[in-house]
A and B are shown apart, each in its own frame.
Chain A
Amino acid sequence: MPMTEKNGQKIWQVRTTNAQLIRWAAWLVGLAVFLFSWKEISDNTLWFMMDNVGEVVADIAGRATPPRWSFITELGKPIWDTLAIATLGTIFALVMAVPVAFLAARNTTPSRLIVRPFALLIIVSTRSVNSLIWALLLVSIVGPGVLAGLIAISIRSIGFCAKLLYEAIEEINVVQVEAIKATGASPMQVMVYGIVPQIMPAFAGIAVFRWDINIRESTVLGLVGAGGIGLALQSSLNVLAWPKVSLILLVILVAVVIGEWVSAKVRGAII
């Protein structure tokens, strides 16, 4: 720890003067970048619209309450579709993610030089594009509807599930695999009795975790025409039917909370 002497008194400091200056410079640069970003946002904002924000909020809130409860009978099918997109999408994604994960894990991949980079590319590219963008694309290919949402959710989830799963595979206990091998087991048997039991809890946890996220994501897919309750939200928003909008938002909120509760319970039971 650096120390300076002043009038015969020793003064301790956490950092040397240079280190301190570098830190301040870094903070200054960071602050400048932030202020610049803020200025850009501010320049692109119509600030005169802010003059009556309070009125607008009060107006919308007034129109949106009370929610039109009778509309709930028409939401049964959309919410069913949303759940179907989330659940079937997760199942499809898992079916595709498992082989990708085994090809991507360092200890199970058949070839580190050729197959592994390819598997990693699948993981990165499916993961970094949001499911709404996938949905937008699929709506223009397979047409609007539940199917587009289902495929969008599956593709988006592959990368996520495969990444977590291959990390779990890489962390398995080698001794157990070795023991199975020592009995003269075939590679397939090693897989089934040596590796799979070790990653099963992680697999179940990932599945439920992703299912929870997929419920959130599938509620908004309808905004681009990919089915589910988002479709109802979009059509209500288009005609500014605020009582319907507030009811739909409430239903979405309940679905999300229930999904999170179920997922937390199941994960708690597994781990």
Chain B
Amino acid sequence: MSAALEAKLGRAWKKPPFISNPIFRWTLTIGTIAYIIVAFWGIDVNIDRIIRGWARGWEFIKAFAEPDFTSRWKDIYKGIYESIVMTVASTVVGIAISIPIALGAARNIAPLPVYLICRAIVAISRALNEIIVAIILVAILGFGPLAGFITLSFATIGFLAKLLAEDIENMNKVQAEAIKSTGASWSQWINFGVQPQVMPRLIGLSMYRLDINFRESAVLGLVGAGGIGGTLNTAFDRYEFDTVAAILIIIIVTVMFLEYLSGVIRARIQ
């Protein structure tokens, strides 16, 4: 820029900062940097162990080039089968329980006491990590897919009921009002005024949750709650990286397929 123009404009243009308050901006920047340095300090890195482990890491990467599906195929098959069964059952049960809770957690449908109870259920379900729920349930119910099934159903409630309730709260009032003005009963009002409006979202969310539940079912086995995770854990413990690679490839392909399927279904509905 020429000096004359500079003089006319007064001062050069500067990009406005992302946070406008300078005090807040500088405390945030300095605080973040200080925290990062201190946090790094707390991590002890055992260089010797990493160098020794490096060979193992390389072996693992090589294993992806030639995954071994055959030698443990029976275990892999059983694990995947159990994972799918758990996913299907828990998604269906989870949706069935979520729908009434979502109706209760929508402020424009439910009276205040019901609303508070349903919101509390949703909050509890969302705050508890799946793995922790699974550990507790395995302690109570013993090893096996039942613990995983209940865990996933419970987690589905928090996810689905919350998002569905938000959709119900954002629905078009006029349509619901129109049904009400025909003298419809409460169930007719829900069935003809509310349900058609939220149905596309419900189907989309259900497909999405099916996808998530499969992914989660792959790790629940690590704590003994059934599914492919148990097989995976055993393979890791035996350092059979080629079997691990095979299992991971199966999980990734299944997840990709489910994601594609849910994408197609959601695109067709909307």
Contacts and interface: CB of A to CB of B under 8 A. Distances in A.
B145 A44 contact: yes
A49 B145 CA distance: 14
B248 A147 contact: no
Interface in A64-79: none
A145 B85 contact: no
Contacts, number: 146
A219 B54 CA distance: 26
- In the A-B complex, the 3 residue pairs with the closest CB atoms: A128-B255, A143-B49, A141-B57
A185 to B, nearest CB: 13
Interface stretch (A17-25, A53-61, A105-113): A53-61
Interface stretch (B33-41, B97-105, B113-121, B160-168): B33-41
Contact of B129 (A34, A88, A216): A216
Contact of B132 (A83, A128, A252): A252
A200 interface: yes
A60 B145 CA distance: 21
B46 A145 contact: yes
A143 B53 CA distance: 7
A115 interface: no
Contact of A132 (B53, B149, B222): B222
A140 B42 contact: no
B140 to A, nearest CB: 5
Contact of A129 (B146, B223, B252): B252
B144 A133 contact: no
B265 interface: no
Contacts of B223: 223
A201 B236 CA distance: 41
Nearest to B35: A87
A38 B259 CA distance: 24
A30 B261 CA distance: 16
A265 to B, nearest CB: 14
A133 B85 contact: no
B261 to A, nearest CB: 14
Given A49-B142, A128-B256, A237-B135, A200 B18 contact: yes
Interface string A129-151: 11011001100111101110010
Contacts of A249: 132
A257 B239 CA distance: 37
A12 interface: no
Contacts of B40: 88
Interface string B131-153: 11001000111101110010000
Chain B: interface size category: 35 or more
Contacts of B85: 37, 40-41
Given A45-B144, A253-B128, 7 more contacts: A44-B82, A46-B144, A53-B140, A56-B140, A130-B219, A137-B60, A141-B56
A227 B179 CA distance: 56
B50 interface: yes
Interface of A: 30, 33-34, 37-38, 40-42, 44-46, 49-50, 53, 56-57, 60, 80-81, 83-84, 87-88, 91, 124-125, 128-130, 132-133, 136-137, 140-143, 145-147, 150, 193, 197, 200, 204, 216-217, 219-220, 223-224, 233, 237, 249, 252-253, 256-257, 260
B127 interface: yes
B251 interface: yes
Interface of B: 15, 18, 35-36, 39-40, 42-46, 49-50, 53-54, 56-57, 60, 81-82, 84-86, 88-89, 92, 127-129, 131-132, 135, 139-142, 144-146, 149, 215-216, 218-219, 222-223, 226, 229, 232-233, 236, 239, 244, 248, 251-252, 255-256, 259
A248 B26 CA distance: 35
Contacts of B127: 253, 256-257, 260
17 contacts: A41-B85, A49-B142, A53-B140, A83-B39, A124-B259, A128-B255, A130-B219, A133-B248, A136-B222, A137-B244, A140-B236, A141-B60, A145-B43, A146-B42, A200-B18, A216-B129, A260-B127
A57 B232 contact: no
Contacts of B146: 41-42, 44-45
A150 B241 CA distance: 22
A260 B128 CA distance: 12
A87 B39 contact: yes
B139 A140 contact: no
A141 B50 CA distance: 7
Contacts of A49: 141-142
Contacts of B82: 40, 44
B220 to A, nearest CB: 10
Nearest to A249: B132
Nearest to B258: A128
Contact of A193 (B15, B46, B144, B244): B15
Contact of A220 (B54, B81, B132, B248): B132
A249 B232 CA distance: 26
A44 B60 contact: no
A21 B140 CA distance: 44
